[in-house]
C-alpha cells in the first residue's frame, strides 16, 4: 500500500479526539465568552423597547330589530369590528382626543378575535410609552361611541379594561448572549477538530 493510500485510510479514534478537544477547554471557554459578549453588544445596539397595553371587548348579537337579529351573527360582527379598529372612523377621533398623529395611532393599534369566541382583543403598541398611555385611555370610549352612535349597534361589553403598560425588548439580550456563546463553542470546537485531523494526518505521513 502506498503512502498516499495510508494517509487516505486514517482512522479517527473518537474518544481520543474528544479528549483532545476537551483538553482545549480554556480556549473554548474564551471563545464562548468572546462571542457571548459580541451577542450582548449586538443586542444593545439593535434592541428597541416597545410598550404595550391590552384590553378586550365582548360582542353581543345586535338587538336593534327583529330584522337585524335574523341577519346578523355576533361572531361575524366581531371580525367586522377587528377591521373597523384601524379605519378612519376610529383613528381620526382617537388622534383628535390624544393629540397623537393619525398615522401613529393607526400603527399603534391592532385587534384580533380570540379563537372560538366573540371576544375582540385590542392591543396598543408603540416605542413611545406616553402614546401607549393616552391611546389606551381613549380607544375604548371612541370605539364604543362609533359602534353605538354611528353604526347603531349594541353597546360593547368591556371584558378587560386597558392593562398596565408593559415594556418589552424587541431584541432579547439574554437570547443573543446564549446564541453567541453557542456559536463560540461550535466555532472553537470546530477549529480544534480540524487541528486534530491535521495532526493525525501529519503523524500518518511520518509513519
State the architecture of 48-169 in CATH terms: 2-Layer Sandwich (3.30)
| Integer angstrom CA distances of residue 2 from 5, 6, 8, 35, 50 | 5, 6, 10, 44, 67
pLDDT at 123: 96
Q: Is residue 196 within 8 Å of 167, Cβ to Cβ? A: no
pLDDT at 63: 56
Band of pLDDT at residue 69, cut at 50, 70 and 90: very low
SS3 77: helix
Q: Is the pLDDT assigned to residue 173 strictly greater than 60?
A: yes
Q: Is residue 100 within 8 Å of 131, Cβ to Cβ? A: yes
Averaged pLDDT score across all residues of the chain: 84
Domain edges within the chain: 24-45+171-206, 48-169
Is residue 12 classed exposed, middle or buried when 0-12, 13-18 and 19+ CB atoms within 10 A define those classes? exposed
More confident residue, 47 or 42: 42
pLDDT in tens, 71-95: 456 778 888 899 999 999 999 999 9
Rounded to an integer, the average pLDDT of 55-60 is: 90
Instruction: State residue 59 phi and psi, 5-degree precision.
Output: -95, 125
For residues 92-127, one letter each, b for 16 or more C-beta atoms within 10 angstroms of the residue's C-beta and e for the rest, the string is ebbbebbebeeebbbebbebebeeeebbbbbbbbbe
What distance in Å separates the CA atoms of residue 88 and residue 102, rounded to the nearest whole number?
8
pLDDT in tens, 100-146: 999 999 999 999 999 888 899 999 999 899 999 999 999 999 999 99
More confident residue, 44 or 95: 95
More confident residue, 115 or 171: 115
Whether the model clears a pTM of 0.75, i.e. scores above it, the answer is: no
More confident residue, 205 or 53: 53
pLDDT at 70: 43
Amino acid at each position: 500500500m502506498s503512502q498516499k493510500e495510508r494517509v487516505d485510510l486514517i482512522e479517527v479514534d473518537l474518544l481520543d479526539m474528544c479528549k483532545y478537544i476537551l483538553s482545549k477547554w480554556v480556549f473554548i471557554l474564551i471563545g464562548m465568552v468572546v462571542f457571548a459578549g459580541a451577542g450582548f453588544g449586538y443586542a444593545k445596539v439593535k434592541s428597541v423597547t416597545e410598550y404595550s397595553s391590552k384590553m378586550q371587548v365582548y360582542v353581543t348579537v345586535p338587538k336593534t330589530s327583529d330584522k337585524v337579529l335574523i341577519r346578523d351573527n355576533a361572531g361575524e360582527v366581531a371580525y367586522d369590528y377587528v377591521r373597523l379598529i384601524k379605519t378612519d372612523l376610529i383613528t381620526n377621533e382617537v388622534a383628535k382626543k390624544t393629540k397623537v398623529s393619525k398615522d401613529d395611532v393607526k400603527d399603534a393599534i391592532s385587534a384580533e378575535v380570540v379563537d372560538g369566541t366573540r371576544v375582540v382583543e385590542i392591543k396598543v403598541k408603540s416605542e413611545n410609552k406616553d402614546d401607549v398611555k393616552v391611546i389606551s385611555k381613549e380607544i375604548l370610549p371612541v370605539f364604543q361611541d362609533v359602534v353605538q352612535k354611528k353604526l347603531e349597534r349594541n353597546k360593547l361589553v368591556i371584558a378587560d379594561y386597558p392593562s398596565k403598560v408593559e415594556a418589552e425588548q424587541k431584541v432579547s439580550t439574554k437570547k443573543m448572549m446564549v446564541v453567541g456563546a453557542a456559536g463560540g463553542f461550535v466555532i472553537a470546537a470546530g477549529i480544534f477538530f480540524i487541528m486534530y485531523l491535521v495532526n493525525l494526518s501529519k503523524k500518518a505521513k511520518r509513519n
